Amino acid sequence: MDKLLPRHRRTLGTFEVIEFGDEAEVAQLRARQQVPTSQDLRWTWEYGSEVAELRALYEKGKLAQWNAEHDVDWALPCGPEEWIVTPEGSLLAQVLKLMGRDEATQRAAAFDEIGYLLSQLLHGEQAALQLCGQLTSGCEKMDEKWYAASQVADEARHVEVFSKLLQRKFGAIHPISPTLKFLLELLLQAPSVREKTLGMQTLFEGMAVGIMDLLRSQSRNPLLSDVLRRVEQDEARHAAFGVLMMRRVVRRSSAEELAQMEDWCFSVLEALNANQQLDMLVLFGPKWGIDPEAVVRMTTSLPNFAQLNCLPYVHTVVPNLKALGLLTDRSESEWRRVGMLV
């Protein structure tokens, strides 16, 4: 299978990682705000419902709307003076504990780490906002357009709630990870509705559900828990939309096309996995006296690395891809090799 970002790969211990080591290149990547895309716009003259399950999902979404400003209790505290997640839920906290640093330092580092993670989720939500606008234009059936349009509103609300949480409680929005920016632009520039739906709705929305559910299970902060719960319930619908859309695509695809989609799914998620939080570790390493390479060597050599690493993948993405026939025996060994599946 072809690997994404081959120029940025190297081996740490026995694990191949992706790392952007050139600060000038990272700055240039982040500064590029215009993304050229090419996409056909589709009219349809059938205004009745043609896909009942998509219309039902659209109706469900209308009943589940919430207001990011008025339904969230912004008076609730959220700060580094208390553990906002369990100590075990923070890589930085665990590393600092091994280094003998005091609990207050561990707590503050965990606060930094969660702020960084939420920032990446925020940037991903902006990409989803823009991609769903593309889907609204490119989808063929009105049920697809209606649902994609409703997701645009959802994603706008997610951008709003995460940006307010970060600005009001964390005091900063961290820049987008260069690895994540590359992958999100890959989806935004994808030429077809099929690739956009598979990449964003099935892969990244599924990953978002897994990450948020894991973070919510580790949360000790009521405000963080409530925001995650609200966003996660929307994301579950979005991932379901991806499955419903792709199920129909898969039915009419040849064996060769299915194999191509299966390989593409793995290549996208493998690149995300190959970063192993290096972008975050490089950012905070100097502040907390941590060697990013040493941390990655340590975590990837743990006997239970795969069991810990696979959690965001096996929550939603793996079951959905298997149900679609896009994770089969031909690729499963590769998923296991890189620790995305046990």
Q: Residue 258: which residues within 8 A CB-CB, separation 6 or more?
A: 250, 325, 326
Q: Is the pLDDT of residue 315 over 80?
A: yes
Domains, the chain, with CATH or none: 61-337 (1.10.620.20)
Do 147 and 61 form a contact (C-beta atoms < 8 A)?
A: yes
Position 8 scores a pLDDT of 96
Q: Each residue of 140-149: pLDDT tens digit?
A: 999 999 999 9
Q: Residue 28: which residues within 8 A CB-CB, separation 6 or more?
A: none
Q: Is the pLDDT of residue 299 over 80?
A: yes
Position 307 scores a pLDDT of 97
Q: Each residue of 183-223: pLDDT tens digit?
A: 999 999 999 999 999 999 999 999 999 999 999 999 999 99
Which H, E and C letters describe the chain, residue by residue? CCCCCHHHEEEECCEEEECCCCHHHHHHHHHCCCCCCCCCCCCCCCCCCCCHHHHHHHHHHHHCCCCCCCCCCCCCCCCCCCCCECHHHCHHHHHHHHCCCCHHHHHHHHHHHHHHHHHHHHHHHHHHHHHHHHHHHHCCCHHHHHHHHHHHHHHHHHHHHHHHHHHHHHCCCCCCCHHHHHHHHHHHCCCCHHHHHHHHHHHHHHHHHHHHHHHHHHECCHHHHHHHHHHHHHHHHHHHHHHHHHHHHHHCCCHHHHHHHHHHHHHHHHHHHHCCCHHHHHHHHHHHCCCHHHHHHHHHCCCCHHHHHCHHHHHCHHHHHHHHCCCCHHHHHHHHHCCCCC
Position 39 scores a pLDDT of 84
Q: What is the pTM of this model?
A: 0.96
The residue type found at 40 is D
User: Which token pair is 202?
Assistant: 């099935």
How many angstroms separate the CA atoms of 24 and 17, rounded? 20
Q: Is the pLDDT of residue 1 over 80?
A: no
Q: pLDDT grade, residue 38 (50/70/90)? A: confident
Best CA proximity match to 111, nearest among 163, 23, 180, 174: 174
Average pLDDT, the chain: 96
Percent of the chain with pLDDT over 70: 100
